[in-house]
Amino acid sequence: MNIDLNSLAEGAVAEKLDAEFQNVLKNMVDPNTDPTKARSITLTLTFKGNKNRELWECAVKAVSKLAPSKDVDSTFIVGRGENGAVIGRELSSGVPGQMYIDREGDVATDVGEKVTAEEEQPTSVAPTERAVVDFRKQKTN
């Protein structure tokens, strides 16, 4: 006796197998999973007969085993606020206190807040004098 999975249970077995295969394919192309991990599909046919062994019920189960998603890491800056409460923010720049250029091309602080204007530096420049500078007379540390 040959069993045709396409016609078994009016095609429901083939549909279950196809649905699990689609899940495996989606998991294969997911960039958040490890491509070297194995995926599998298990098709289980469970038979249960009556007392006379004349009629048998067949339950079909299709289960896929997928690769788990990779862990995602993040770094947080933690400290205390002005009132002593603990506060924390995700570190976006990679280095505390360092500004960076975000995905939109804007300058942002280390926690991802966009910088709207540069800090103004005083532009008062001392007038240029035409004198000889004696470096020996300058203060040193």
pLDDT of 127: 61
Report how far residue 64's alpha carbon sits from residue 43's, in angstroms, rounded to the nearest whole number. 9
Enter the tokens of residue 90. Answer: 């995700």
Are the C-beta atoms of 108 and 93 separated by less than 8 Å?
yes
Q: Is the pLDDT of residue 44 over 70?
A: yes
Report how far residue 28's alpha carbon sits from residue 141's, in angstroms, rounded to the nearest whole number. 63
Q: How far is CA 69 from CA 30, 57, 73, in A?
A: 9, 37, 13
Report how far residue 58's alpha carbon sits from residue 34's, in angstroms, rounded to the nearest whole number. 36
* pLDDT band of 120, cuts 50, 70, 90: very low
* Cα angle for residues 115, 119, 120 (degrees, 5° grid): 145
pLDDT of 140: 64
Report which of residues 129 and 3 the model is more confident about.
Answer: 3
Average pLDDT over the chain, rounded to whole? 85
Q: What is the pLDDT of residues 46-75, one digit of tens each?
A: 999 999 999 999 999 999 999 999 888 888
Question: Is 0.85 surpassed by the pTM of this model?
Answer: no
Are the C-beta atoms of 137 and 125 separated by less than 8 Å?
no
Residues of the chain with pLDDT > 90, as a percent, come to 43
Sign of CA dihedral 24, 29, 34, 35: positive
* Contacts for 26 with CB less than 8 Å, ≥ 6 apart: none
Are the C-beta atoms of 88 and 111 separated by less than 8 Å?
no
Q: What is the pLDDT of residues 89-108, one digit of tens each?
A: 888 888 888 888 888 888 88
pLDDT of 106: 86
